[in-house]
Amino acid sequence: MNKFRFKLYVAGQTPRSQQAVTNLRQLCEESLPGRYDMEVIDVLQHPDLAEDERILATPTLVKLSPTPIRRVIGDLSDFPKVRMGLELDTPGEE
């Protein structure tokens, strides 16, 4: 079983940022229980990290592993589209 690694870039403690964090946790618990690590990065506190990753909009979710790296922008509320964008519904993953 592959462990998934995510970085979620947000801008402060706005309602949209908080919703993205909540949605990511829910999505991971439903789809990847016990098989994920997530890190939330506030670009207002760490602009250098956002620049290194070329983050242009927030919230932005980056799936680092397993490869390929994928990015999803937005509050992550459309779970079917997020799963597809992150390739969470690929055969053999469940």
Say whether pLDDT at 92 is over 80.
no
Which pLDDT belongs to residue 88? Answer: 81
Say whether pLDDT at 90 is over 70.
no
What's the pLDDT tens digit per position in 10-69?
A: 999 999 999 999 999 999 999 999 999 999 999 999 999 999 999 999 999 999 999 999
Task: Please give the angle made by the CA atoms of 67, 72 and 77, to the nearest 5 degrees.
Answer: 125
CA distances from 51 to 6, 9, 24, 57, 84 (A): 17, 11, 22, 11, 26
Of 80, 79, 82, nearest to 60 by C-alpha is 82
Q: What global pTM score does this model have?
A: 0.89
Mean per-residue pLDDT, 62-89: 92
Q: Which domains does the chain have, with CATH numbers?
A: 4-85 (3.40.30.10)
Q: Which run of H or of E encompasses 6? A: strand 4-10
